[in-house]
Amino acid sequence: MAASKKDPPRTHTARRPGVDRMAPVPLYLQVRRWVEEEIERRHLGHHARVPSERELARRLSISRMTVRAALEGMIRDNVLYRVPGKGTFVAGARLPQHLRSLTSFTEDMRARGLQPGARVLGFHRVPAPAMVAERLRLAPAGPVLRLERLRLAGGEPMCIETAHLSAERFGWLADLDMTDRSLYALLREHRVQLAWAEQSISARDATPEEASLLLIRPGSAVLVTERTTFAQDGSPVEYVVSTYRADRYTFQVVLPADWPGSSGSTRSIGGCCRPGRWS
């Protein structure tokens, strides 16, 4: 009786996790999708360190150049961010600020369940620059307090804030440590009733110094707000310029209709009490 022939053993081509060389999709885009899926599945949480290029190349059996192309694209799109000397990390979700009422950074962060913080970069009495003197209705080169701070949310740098106040009116602030303190809360404690503000928002590229403080790449987009805050008697209290990370912050504005017969009014936008002041 002839010996029965055995079926030849089946061969298996192991599919590399997240990468299919036979697919029409470029490998670097497959690597990107693999990393995005790790984030979506929460295997990589916000601010978690992403495996190194070498580790990803080994794990996916592809070249480091391909991995680098994928990660660089994700950094450009603000999905990831890089900290020199430490590695590449998952960016957090953007924090929206609703421009409906006059609130401080501290109040905004606490409303989102985040711990607000502030690191003082400089606090000096200086002559007011022309723009500051105009906004605060001071004599040219009049004395002002210049408070520059790095604002934090959950320990993460969020914005650089430079505030100017009249040194003659608010000189008592110079004796205080403004680390992790709310300026608006201090003003209220001293019976300064803030009533409304004029604010503008613009966008530009971060300077190298700003990028270093905010832990972003030089040239990354930042959002810049300029705000003049007024007391109930109409006198200006503060002129502040804030530079926000565009990858972590967004502004949302309610725009009610303002034509005959509509119930909306521009006076309700952002809590501003003067029409047309928000831009």
Tell me which CATH code domain 27-90 carries: 1.10.10.10
Question: Mean of the pLDDT values across residues 182-203?
Answer: 88
SS3 content of the chain, % helix, strand, coil (to 5): 25, 30, 45
Is the confidence at residue 64, as pLDDT, over 70?
Answer: yes
Domains 27-90 and 95-271 share a fold: no
Select from 261, 242, 253, 260 the least CA-distant residue to 277.
253
Span 148-157, mean pLDDT?
88
Reported confidence tier of residue 141, pLDDT bands at 50, 70, 90: very high
Q: What is the pLDDT of residue 24?
A: 81
Q: Which of 168-177, 218-227, 251-260 has the lowest mean pLDDT?
A: 251-260
For residue 134, name the pLDDT band (cuts at 50, 70, 90): very high
Confidence at 122, pLDDT banded by 50, 70, 90: very high
Give dist(CA 35, CA 30) in Å, integer. 9
Least confident of 29-33, 52-56, 81-85, 97-101: 97-101
pLDDT in tens, 204-225: 999 999 999 998 888 888 999 9
Round the average pLDDT of the chain to a whole number and report it: 80
Question: 15 falls in which pLDDT band (50, 70, 90)?
Answer: very low
- Tokens matching residue 90: 């998952």
Amino acid at 220: S
Residue extents of the structural domains in the chain: 27-90, 95-271
Collapsed DSSP state (helix, strand, coil) of residue 172: helix
- Identify the band that residue 165 occupies on the pLDDT scale cut at 50, 70 and 90: very high
Q: Is the pLDDT of residue 164 over 90?
A: yes
Average pLDDT score over residue span 58-81: 88
Query: Which residues lie closer than 8 Å to 264 by C-beta, 6 or more apart?
Result: 256, 257, 258
Compare 136 and 181 and report the one with higher pLDDT.
136
**Domain 95-271 maps to which CATH number in 3.50.50.60, 1.10.357.10, 3.40.50.620, 3.40.1410.10?**
3.40.1410.10
Residue 212, pLDDT score:
92
* Two structure tokens written together for 107: 């109040």
pLDDT score at 160: 95
Beta strands across the sheet bearing 221-231 = 116-127, 143-153, 156-166, 236-245, 221-231, 194-205
Tokens, residue 153:
């949310």
Q: Using an 8 Å Cβ cutoff, are 163 and 174 in contact?
A: no
